[in-house]
Amino acid sequence: MSLNDPIADMLTRIRNSAGAGHRRVDMPVSKVKAEIARVLADNGFIHDYKVLDDGRHGVLRLYLKYTDDDRTVIRSMQRVSKPGRREYVGADEVPKVRNGLGVAILTTSHGVMSDHEARQEGIGGEVLAEVY
């Protein structure tokens, strides 16, 4: 199956799985998706992630995180930069999501990173998604 926007597909799979109460979600793997999963894990939105070999292209498995009363930690995930309209920001324009409670995921010349890391490095890039 060919996808026009695999990152939006990843975010939709996570949203749907969290809404259904699943503990994990599988999707086709890519380097960018694995880096997005790393940023989500580093910022406490998912427990862990693994790249599995299925004999073909590989599978990215994310283990979702829930609160004690079984509500998902991820309240909202939305794609910012889309294939039809890319959103680039400079180092001084890196967005804060929910006044710092959420995280913006950026792809920069130094790799995929959170908004906090981009501000520390003093670099901008393409805003892929916002999560809170």
Phi first, then psi: give them for residue 102, nearest 5 degrees.
-105, -170
CATH of the domain at 49: 3.30.1490.10
Q: Per-residue pLDDT for 2 more than 60? A: no
Average pLDDT over residues 32-41: 98
Q: Per-residue pLDDT for 128 more than 90? A: yes
pTM of the model: 0.95
- For the chain, how many structural domains are there in total? 1
Question: Would residue 98 count as lying in a domain?
Answer: yes
Cα separations (Å) of 124 from 9, 42, 46, 120, 130?
24, 20, 25, 11, 15
- 30: domain range? 6-131
